[in-house]
Amino acid sequence: MTLQGRDRRALLILVAALAVGAVLYFTSGSPSVASSAKAAAPVESIERTQKRLANLERQAATLDSKETLLKQVSVELADREKALIPGDTAEQAQAQLLQILKRVAGAQNPPLEIGQADFARPRSYGNAYGLVAVSVTMNCHIEDLVNFLTALSAQPELAATEDIRFGTSNPKQKIIPIRLTVAGVIPRRLVPVQKGLPTL
């Protein structure tokens, strides 16, 4: 069997291509061998893994004490939040705050009479709470006001005096007209979300 010229040239080109391919293959390394070597290489050393395991064990050992502390803080927070001004809306909370003021005023000796009441817009108080405020007017002696404020601070609800304004007193009876603003703490969900830019 004799090869024609065209077949000889094709065979020579094939041999030359195989020779170049073999040289490239052995000088750069086999791609499959290189990739399998990379896959088999360890990602982390044994010492590093042991340190990580020891760190995780230390964290797990403190987990029980952290859970106990979390339960204790949750119970304490629930007890404190019982003192929030009750209500399903901010308006109901404001009405409850006014009732607290009337209750404390009626328990004074002699009972104090609350006059006009004005409600301020509810506002946020930190990240988790809000405030409602009620301004009331009353006429009383200064010692009656002191007793009223003392009794108000002893109430279980979270309410405190925010502002006191004194009018001109009656010199004969020593009765002072007073405008008192009291704020109470409510859950943040009761504070309406303001839309748009705040006005200056």
Helix (H) or strand (E) holding 59: helix 46-61
**CATH architecture assignment, domain 90-190:** 2-Layer Sandwich (3.30)
In tens, the pLDDT along 99-130 reads: 999 999 999 988 999 999 999 999 988 888 99
Q: Where are the domains of the chain?
A: 1-41, 42-82, 90-190
In tens, the pLDDT along 170-181 reads: 777 788 899 999
pLDDT greater at residue 15 or residue 176: 176
Structure tokens belonging to residue 122: 């509810």
| pTM beyond cutoff 0.75 | no
Structure tokens belonging to residue 101: 């003021």
In tens, the pLDDT along 33-78 reads: 455 545 554 556 888 888 888 888 888 888 888 888 888 888 887 7
Band of pLDDT at residue 3, cut at 50, 70 and 90: low
Cα dist from 73 to 76, 80, 82, 136, whole Å: 5, 10, 14, 36
Helix (H) or strand (E) holding 20: helix 5-28
161 contacts 180 by C-beta, under 8 angstroms = yes
